[in-house]
Structure 1
């Protein structure tokens, strides 16, 4: 049907042309930008994934830069160690020449002096981006021997992000350390306890060990339960572990004087009423100290403090009784107090060496560990542990102490060498307590004094750990061939430590290089993955473009033909 109101063919052609133009615009946009997904409206899920991956790839780019910075820092220290090794080789060569008879040691020392200065120069100038690992001051605020190089950026399934690092322990790499308590590889010979692990965690004097028995006070020398009159009282002043003194009063009854045990219970009840339970125990004992709950004569009441250690004490004084008839019986308590004395005695006194020994300790030929020891107020003696002593005691010949048991053997030999008697060395087994009442751990050592009086103690102090020789102050002028040979050994030891340090840094540098290569590959892989998600296939889009352009031309022609139909209708009305 022909109509002048509605041109169906034109409408259809127009709609088709509009759809073609829309598709053509999208294709042209993909070709011009290179992306098939350029905005969230194109594909929200893929756009979100690609945006996150692009962001992560930027972080990986920063990781790559950090690895480059870390590699340069490590390489700077590595090169410094290599050069220091070369200089040490030269010093060892000069020292070897100096052992020859007739050489001018002064001139050789002049050459060595210049080489020593070069070692200092190498260490001080091995700096990259403000980092110097060869010349340090471990006592400075904020110093940390643990270094880290950012090496990875990882996004987990739950969306959290992890930053990985390659960790480097530089504690055994420094050639020089300004800290007077520690030493680097080349400035040994300084004293201090910071070079640690060795044997002791504290340089202060050890205290009397709390393994000492609690304060014990024996009271009645002769107790007869038959004569003390009912209703009469026995009273005395009692001080326990420096608590306020309390007046203890016990009234005799037929029941509580039936036996030594019942009388001890009556006294215990009176003590508890003033001090509380658990502070002091009261038991009936024979003269030999064994408990006797049935005897009625020659029985003693023994007071024992629940507190152990040097501060534990019991004092009894000012005995009195209201039984004026039988003072010679239980009244013997008064004499017993005076005989025993005012303060409690201690049956044992161990001094502890609270050891930090938990890992193997190796002493080189020029290493020493020393501390002073005073026993029972006597003269102080120096106890020294050397590689020679370790080797002669353990027989291995490597200067290595592998565990606390071996350290016990070495310390025992060191005490004997120092002429100290009456003191034994023990390894904590959980049963022996330290001065704070805590069990001494199995990796800690303690000293036990054979003396067992209240004044017995072993005092430890002046700990020093000397590691190696200061290579930069070594002087052969006037030294014998034997002494120079010892210097050669010291330099050789330093060489070994420098070689080990360089090997450590070399391993780290190799790992950093591998990680850099991996990060490069990972970034490329992520780029490819993002491209697969959002990049347009240009061959495909160009083909679509050509097809859509032809379709657009056809659409225009179809619309033109449809519009001409109305002109044909008009021609029917012409006269």
Structure 2
């Protein structure tokens, strides 16, 4: 049936052209943005996953910055500790040289020892990065607080987020503690028994020049060979040896923390790359596929326009029925 009121062919051609135009707009949007899923309307599930993972990746970027800052703090303390170890070795050499020497010679050795003691304090005080110093602290009471370095941002299966840290035990590595009443002083300013070199909270100053007394204590930071007897110098060597062992352990702790931070930095970088790849597989557009689809849709659009034109012109043939 021919009708001038309803052109079924034109309606069909128009629907087909509209569908082609819609697909063409979608393909052009993918090519211009580079995303197959750019908004929630494109694919709600993939968009939600991608948005969450992008947010987590931004958090990991902050973790990476925190690890870099933490590495600098630990490296600064490690450098200061190594310099202090070199210096305490020099003090040990001076004590050996002072053993059996005259009082006049001991005075000269003491001048050198005091210079080295000041140098160690300078190293400890200077080992500060971004306001953090692990070697020279001031604990009002109790123990020195650990230095916490953010090392990871985690999300469990239920979606709950959490933070992991690498903790550096400052109490075990501090060289000086200027606090009024800490539980324990630092490695270098604590009182140590002359017999064993063990740290103690009960200080007993020796009477220099006398034979060593039971319970005499010495501090590496305040060692004095001036007027000391050879027996007392021998006890001082025990104290320096014990302090050197503690400093070596402290340097090992810092070295292990530094290694752990470096490994975590490498892992975090790899993890961020993996997340980027995973998100890309969900939402990125395949440009080869989209470019091919674009060309096909452009041809379909041209054919659709031609079909609509033909359908519109078909009704004009009805006019020929009314010609005389």
Does TM, scored on the shorter chain, surpass 0.5?
A: yes
Distance (whole Å) between structure 2 residues aligned to residue 36 and residue 367 of structure 1: 67
Aligned residue for 2:158?
A: 158
Aligned residue for 2:207?
A: none
Q: How many residues align?
A: 310
Q: Is the 8 A contact 1:180 1:190 kept in 2?
A: no
Give the structure with the larger strand fraction.
1
Deviation for aligned residue 1:132? 1.2
2:293 is the alignment partner of 1:539: no
Q: Is the 8 A contact 1:53 1:526 kept in 2?
A: yes
User: After superposition, what is the alpha-carbon deviation per residue over 1:345-392, rounded to whole angstroms, capped at 9, x for unaligned?
Assistant: xxxxxxxxxxxxxxxxxx933556769xxxxxxxxxxxxxxxxxxxxx
Distance (whole Å) between structure 2 residues aligned to residue 170 and residue 148 of structure 1: 10
From the superposition, tell whether residues 469 and 188 of structure 1 become closer, same or farther in structure 2 (CA, over 3 Å). farther
| Structure 1 residue ranges, 4+ long, deviating more than 3 angstroms after superposition | 100-103, 363-371, 571-575
1:171 is paired with a residue whose SS is helix
Aligned residue for 1:112?
A: 113
Give the structure with the larger helix fraction.
2
From the superposition, tell whether residues 498 and 527 of structure 1 become closer, same or farther in structure 2 (CA, over 3 Å). same
Deviation for aligned residue 1:572? 4.5
Q: Which has the larger radius of gyration?
A: 1
Aligned residue for 1:356?
A: none
Q: Is the 8 A contact 2:139 2:180 kept in 1?
A: no
TM-score under structure 2 length normalisation: 0.87
Aligned residue for 1:474?
A: 223
Q: Is the 8 A contact 2:197 2:240 kept in 1?
A: no
Q: Is the 8 A contact 2:192 2:239 kept in 1?
A: no
2:69 is paired with a residue whose SS is helix
TM-score under structure 1 length normalisation: 0.51
Aligned residue for 1:307?
A: none
1:153 is paired with a residue whose SS is strand
Alignment of 1:228-377 (within 5 A): 364-365=196-197, 367=199
1:151 is paired with a residue whose SS is strand
Deviation for aligned residue 1:151? 1.4
Q: What runs of 5+ residues in structure 2 fail to find an aligned partner?
A: 204-213
Question: How big is the alpha-carbon RMSD for the aligned residues of Structure 1 and Structure 2?
Answer: 2.6
Deviation for aligned residue 1:520? 1.1
Aligned residue for 1:391?
A: none
Distance (whole Å) between structure 1 residues aligned to residue 84 and residue 259 of structure 2: 21
Aligned residue for 1:9?
A: 9
Q: What runs of 5+ residues in structure 1 fail to find an aligned partner?
A: 192-362, 372-416, 418-464
Distance (whole Å) between structure 1 residues aligned to residue 196 and residue 62 of structure 2: 44
2:271 is the alignment partner of 1:522: yes
Deviation for aligned residue 1:85? 0.4
Aligned residue for 1:130?
A: 131
Q: Is the 8 A contact 1:183 1:190 kept in 2?
A: no
Q: Which moved more, 1:564-573 or 1:485-494?
A: 564-573
